[in-house]
Amino acid sequence: MISATLVDVNTFEVVVEGRDDTTHRVTLHPDYYKKLCGGTITHEWVIIQAFNFLLERESNTAILESFDLEDINDYFSEFEEEIANRLGLAAR
């Protein structure tokens, strides 16, 4: 299970429960949020889908403890296209 909770302006605490529970601090800046979903989907759902994407590629213990959501695209060039598909926005 993945949960995302706002803890500060643009900063979320993400908890990934599993064999080894992990906690992450993720920043989601307004401009990038709008780029990903046009502001039509909750911040939390965007982050949860981003973590689902990451967990398909690496274990939760391998995910950085603190990072900016936009950084995912630096490691996985397909991230933005895939997140659009997951959010049902691919036709945009």
For residue 72, is pLDDT > 70? yes
Q: What is the pLDDT of residue 91?
A: 54
Contacts of residue 60, defined as CB under 8 A and 6 or more positions apart, other chains included, come to: 16, 18, 20, 22
Work out the end-to-end distance of the chain between its first and last CA atoms, rounded to an integer number of angstroms: 29
Listed in sequence order, the DSSP H helices in 1-92 are: 30-37, 43-55, 72-75, 79-86
Q: Quote the pLDDT of residue 29.
A: 97
**How far is Cα 43 from Cα 71, in angstroms, rounded to an integer?**
16
pTM for this predicted structure: 0.93
Mean pLDDT calculated for residue range 36-61? 96
